[in-house]
């Protein structure tokens, strides 16, 4: 049986913050047509709401990455899916669901910078600076959780083992243990 998540951010709090982010991003990219690149699958719901809140003409593209870590060791990051993203000379807004260690984000920033965009900004649903291993910072975060969390974040596109994505709020469930059998090595697929 699935655990009922404890609510961390309500649907109303999320929608209010997303509208605010849309206005801020709209001012930052005023007069331009940003290329929004979302990391699948976790940012899908956030991306859908945010692009409707940005008062600009924009294009949308998607990436999917896989980051494998074992026992806190350095990650191996691969891009496993990408649409044709026209990075060169473009204003890129990279959307992520959660920035924790920064390893995946650093890999993506380097990958995109090599393609010489005019501008590159990052917006994340959840920023967890207390878990950072690499010094990277988003331009915008819907919510910041400064200290490591005891629970696992789910809802509003965030999942645990493909469950909970459709919740309209962000909540926490107990952090699964090694006996759980699912995701026995730490891995992240956005």
Please state, for a pLDDT cut of 70, what percent of the chain lies above it. Answer: 83
Residues 6+ apart with CB under 8 A from 153: 8, 98, 126, 170, 171, 172
Q: How far is Cα of residue 77 from the mean position of the Cα atoms in its chain?
A: 15
Mind listing the pLDDT tens digit for each residue in 14-70? 999 999 999 999 999 999 999 999 998 899 999 999 999 999 999 999 988 877 655
Options 49, 96, 97, 100, the catalytic residue: 100
Span 11-147 CATH architecture: 3-Layer(aba) Sandwich (3.40)
Tell me the mean pLDDT in the region 168-181: 78
Q: What distance lies between CA 32 and its chain's CA centroid?
A: 23
Q: Which residue has the higher pLDDT, 149 or 52?
A: 52
CA distance 138 to 113: 15
Give yes or no for residue 178 having a pLDDT over 70.
Answer: no
Q: Please give the DSSP secondary-structure letter assigned to residue 179.
A: G
pLDDT exceeds cutoff 60 at 185: no
Residue 172: per-residue pLDDT: 95
Structure confidence by residue, pLDDT tens digits, 65-91: 877 655 555 556 666 656 678 899 999
At residue 84's C-alpha, the angle toward residues 68 and 66, to 5°, is 5
The CB density around residue 150, as the number of other CB atoms within 10 Å, is 8
Please state, rounded to an integer, the average pLDDT across all residues of the chain: 87
The pLDDT, as a whole number, for residue 136 is 95
Give the per-residue pLDDT at 151. Answer: 87
Cβ distance 123 to 50 under 8 Å?
A: yes
Is 161 one of the annotated active-site residues of the chain?
no
Cα 145 to Cα 20, 79, 142, distances in angstroms: 18, 27, 10
Cis status of the peptide bond prior to 12, with omega within 30 of 0: no
Domain segments of the chain: what residues? 11-147
Residue 53 and residue 95 in contact, taking contact as beta carbons nearer than 8 Å: no
Percentage of the chain exceeding pLDDT 90: 70
The pLDDT confidence band at residue 189, using thresholds 50, 70 and 90, is very low
From the centroid of its chain, how far is CA 148?
17
């Amino acid at each position: 049986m699935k655990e009922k998540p404890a609510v961390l951010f309500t649907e109303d709090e999320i929608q209010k913050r997303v509208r605010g982010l849309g206005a801020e991003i709209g001012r930052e990219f005023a007069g331009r047509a940003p290329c929004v690149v979302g990391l699948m699958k976790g940012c899908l719901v956030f991306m859908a709401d945010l692009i409707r809140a940005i008062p600009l003409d924009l294009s949308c593209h998607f990436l999917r990455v896989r980051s494998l870590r074992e026992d806190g060791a350095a990650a191996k990051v691969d891009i496993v899916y990408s649409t044709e993203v026209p990075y060169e000379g473009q204003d890129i807004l990279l959307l992520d669901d959660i920035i924790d260690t920064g390893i995946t984000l650093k890999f993506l920033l380097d990958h995109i910078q090599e393609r010489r965009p005019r501008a590159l900004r990052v917006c994340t649903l959840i920023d967890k600076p207390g878990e950072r291993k690499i010094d990277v910072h988003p331009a915008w975060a819907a919510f910041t959780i400064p200290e490591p969390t005891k629970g696992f974040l789910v809802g509003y596109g965030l999942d645990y083992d493909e469950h909970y994505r459709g919740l309209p709020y962000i909540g926490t469930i107990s952090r699964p243990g090694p006996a759980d059998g699912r995701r026995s090595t730490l891995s992240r697929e956005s």
